[in-house]
Amino acid sequence: MKRLLYIGLIWFLSPAFAWAQADSLNKAIDYYESRDLVKARSAIDAASKHPSTSNLPNTWYLRGFIYKEYFKHYEASNPKSPAREEAVAAFVKVGELDPGKSEFFDDNVRQSLKYLGSTYYNTSSDFFTADGYKTAIEFFEKYKKCYLLANPDFNWKPSHIEFYLSLGTGMENIYVTNRKVNLPYMEITAGMYKKVLEVDTNNITAYYNLCMLYYNHGVSIINDMSDETDILDIDKIQERALEFFKTALPYALKAYSLNPKRRETLVALSGIYFSMHEEEKSAIIQAEIKALDGK
Amino acid sequence: MKKLWSVILLSLSLVSADLVKFAAPLTADTNTKIKAVFLYNFTKYVEWPQAYKSGNFVIGVVGDESFSKELDLFFNPKSIGSQRFEIKSFNRASDISPCHMIYVSPQFSGNLNDVLAKIKGKSTLVVTEKPGMARQGAAINFTVIENKQKFELNKANAEKYDLKVSSSLTNLAILVE
C-alpha cells in the first residue's frame, strides 16, 4: 500500500504533526501492516475522532481498508456487518475530502467499494424472506451506491432487473404457500415486478409474471369457493375473481405483443380469456398454440 | 505495506437468474366449477314431486363427457336429503334414461327437441347453455353477462314438468317467457 506509506510520510513531515496528538494514525498503519486488525481498528477509531486527524483524507482512506479487512476476517458471515458499513462510510468520506477524486480516491478505493458492493448484492438474497425483503432492497441500494461511487458511469440496470425479478419470485413463493394468510405478499410481489418495468418497459418476464400473479389469484378464488356456496354468493365470488382476471389481461397482452410465439404467454392469455368467458378469443389463442406446437 | 490485502472483486452471484421462475398457471377449469356450484344450487332451490324424492338424485349430461366427469368428481359423495347424487352421461337423446335434472351441452343444443321428447311426462329440470334455449323448452339456460356466469329462467318450462322454483332462484334469474 504505497499510497498509505506515502501519506504517512507526508503527514509525518507536515507541520500538523508537530502539534497533533495523532499517534493513533501511525499506530493504525503499523497494526494494519502487521495484520493486527483489532488493534488497527481501535487506533483508527481514535484517529477518526481526534481533531488533528479526523479531517484528513488519509485517516479515512486507512479506516476504509482497516474496516474492509476487519469485515473480511471477522464479519464476513454476518450479513449485517457493522464493519462493512464503516468501511463504506469511510470510503465515502474519502470521496468527500477529495472532491476531485484524483488523489486519495484512487483505484484501490474504487476496487474496494466494488468488492464491498458485491458482498451487499450477494447477501441480499438472504433476506428474500417475509420479514427481510426491505433489508434485501436496502442491500441492493447499498450495492448500487458502492458501484456508482466507484464508477459514476456504472450501468446498474441489468442488476436492477435481475434483483427485482428474483426478489419478486422470492415474495411470490411466500405468497403462494398460503394465498389467504399471505395475501399482502401478492401486492408486494407485484411491486417488485413493477420495479423491473420502471427500468425496462419491455421486460417480458415481468409482464408475464404479473399476469400470472393476478390470473392465478383469480383462479384460486374460484378454486377455493366452497362447493356449498349459496347461489346468492356465487355472483360476488365471480366478481372478485373477475377483478383479478381483468387486472391480469393487459399484462398478458403486453407480453403477447412483445413475443406472440412464446408458448407460456399464449397459455396464460388463453386461460385468462377462458376464465372471463371470452371463449372465442380463448379458442383463437388455443389455435395459435396448436400451430406453434405443429399440430 | 507493500500491497493491498486481497482486493479481489467478488462476482455477483447469489442473486442469480436461477432464482427467477416463471409462475405456472393454476390448473383449474373455473367455468366448470362455477357451473357445478350453480347446478348444485338448482337442486336445492327447485322442488321435485314427492315421487322423485327417493332413490338417487340423477343428473344427466348430454353431449359432453368431460363435463360429466367433472360433475361426477364434484357431486361425489354429496347428497340432497337422503338422495345420493348420481351423474349419467349420454351421447344420444335416445340413450337418455330418467333424470331429475339434465344438462344439454351447447354442442348438443341442436337436438334439444329430441331431448324434450325423451323426457316428456317426467319431472326433469332441463338446463342448457346456448342463447335462445330458454325459449325453446329449457327451464334454465346458462348465459354470460359482463364476463360472469348467469342464468335465464323460463318458469313456465319448469312448471310444465311439475317443478316448483323457489322465489330466491326466481329473483336471481334473468326471467324469460
pLDDT score of A124 more than 60: yes
pLDDT score of B138 more than 80: yes
Q: Predicted confidence band at A23 (pLDDT cuts at 50, 70, 90)? A: confident
B98 Rama class: left (phi>0) / alpha (psi -120 to 50) / beta: beta
Task: Please tell me the predicted confidence (pLDDT) of residue A101.
Answer: 77
CB A260 within 8 A of CB A288: yes
Closest Cβ–Cβ partner in B10, B21, B149 for A122: B10
Beta-carbon neighbour count of residue A205 at 10 Å? Answer: 19
Give bridge partners of residue B150 from the DSSP assignment: B143
Task: Please tell me the predicted confidence (pLDDT) of residue B27.
Answer: 61
B167 interfaces chain A, CB cutoff of 8 Å: no
Q: What single string gives the DSSP state of each residue in A103-157?
A: SSS-HHHHHHHHHHHHHHHHHHGGG-STTTHHHHHHHHHHHHHHHHHH-TT---H
Quick one: cell of B42? Answer: 338448482
Q: Which residue of chain B has the CA closest to A29?
A: B1
Closest Cβ–Cβ partner in A166, A234, A242 for B38: A234
The pLDDT mean for chain B works out to 90
pLDDT score of A204 more than 90: yes
Q: How far is A115 from chain B (nearest CA, A)?
A: 5
- C-alpha to C-alpha distance for A114 and A195, rounded to whole angstroms: 23
Q: How far is B99 from chain A (nearest CA, A)?
A: 22
User: If we measure between CA atoms, which residue out of A102, A43, A51, A99 comes closest to residue A67?
Assistant: A43
Higher pLDDT, A236 or B9: A236
pLDDT score of A19 more than 50: no
DSSP, collapsed to helix, strand or coil, labels residue B127 as strand
Q: pLDDT tens-digit profile of A128-164?
A: 999 999 999 999 999 999 999 999 999 999 999 999 9
Residue A53, phi then psi, degrees to nearest 5: -125, -10
Task: Please tell me the predicted confidence (pLDDT) of residue B29.
Answer: 82
Give bridge partners of residue B79 from the DSSP assignment: B84
CA–CA distances in Å: residue B92 to residues A142, B66, B112, B123: 70, 15, 11, 20
B12 interfaces chain A, CB cutoff of 8 Å: yes
Higher pLDDT, B3 or A231: A231
- C-alpha to C-alpha distance for B122 and A32, rounded to whole angstroms: 99
Kindly list the residues from chain A whose CB atom is less than 8 angstroms away from the CB atom of residue B16: 162, 166
pLDDT score of A98 more than 90: no
Kindly list the residues from chain A whose CB atom is less than 8 angstroms away from the CB atom of residue B11: 118
User: If we measure between CA atoms, which residue out of B155, B154, B128, B125 comes closest to residue B143?
Assistant: B128
CA–CA distances in Å: residue B142 to residues A210, A270, B22: 31, 21, 35
Query: Residue B9 carries which DSSP code?
Result: P
Task: Please tell me the predicted confidence (pLDDT) of residue B3.
Answer: 42
Task: Please tell me the predicted confidence (pLDDT) of residue A9.
Answer: 42
Q: Predicted confidence band at B142 (pLDDT cuts at 50, 70, 90)? A: very high
pLDDT score of B6 more than 50: no
- C-alpha to C-alpha distance for A294 and B150, rounded to whole angstroms: 37
Q: Predicted confidence band at A8 (pLDDT cuts at 50, 70, 90)? A: very low
Q: How far is A158 from chain B (nearest CA, A)?
A: 11
Q: Predicted confidence band at A16 (pLDDT cuts at 50, 70, 90)? A: very low
Residue A85, C-beta contacts closer than 8 angstroms, at least 6 positions apart: none
Q: Which residue of chain A has the CA closest to B171?
A: A232
Query: Residue B63 carries which DSSP code?
Result: S
Task: Please tell me the predicted confidence (pLDDT) of residue B14.
Answer: 45
CB A66 within 8 A of CB A44: yes
CB B134 within 8 A of CB B128: yes
Cis preceding-peptide flag for B98 (omega within 30 of 0) = no
Residue B54, C-beta contacts closer than 8 angstroms, at least 6 positions apart: B82, B83
Q: ipTM of this predicted complex?
A: 0.88
Considering the entire predicted model, what is its pTM?
A: 0.87
A212 interfaces chain B, CB cutoff of 8 Å: yes
- C-alpha to C-alpha distance for A122 and B11, rounded to whole angstroms: 8
Q: pLDDT tens-digit profile of A37-91?
A: 999 999 999 999 999 999 999 999 999 999 999 999 999 999 999 999 999 999 9
pLDDT score of A96 more than 80: yes
Q: How far is A99 from chain B (nearest CA, A)?
A: 23
The pLDDT mean for chain A works out to 91
Closest Cβ–Cβ partner in B21, B28, B34 for A169: B21
- C-alpha to C-alpha distance for B71 and B75, rounded to whole angstroms: 6
CA trace torsion A201, A205, A209, A210 (10° rounding): 10
Beta strands in chain B (DSSP E): 46-47, 57-62, 79-80, 83-90, 101-104, 125-128, 140-145, 148-153, 164-165, 174-175
Q: pLDDT tens-digit profile of B25-83?
A: 666 689 999 999 999 999 999 999 999 999 999 999 999 999 999 999 999 999 999 99
Beta-carbon neighbour count of residue B16 at 10 Å? Answer: 13
Closest Cβ–Cβ partner in B3, B33, B169 for A231: B169
Quick one: cell of A9? Answer: 510520510
Residue environment code for A107-136, b if the CB has 16+ CB neighbours within 10 A, otherwise e: ebbbebbbbbbbbbbbbbbebbeeebbebb
- C-alpha to C-alpha distance for A167 and A106, rounded to whole angstroms: 34
Q: How far is A45 from chain B (nearest CA, A)?
A: 20
The single residue listed with the C-alpha cell 395475501 is A183
Closest Cβ–Cβ partner in B2, B20, B147 for A242: B147
B13 interfaces chain A, CB cutoff of 8 Å: yes
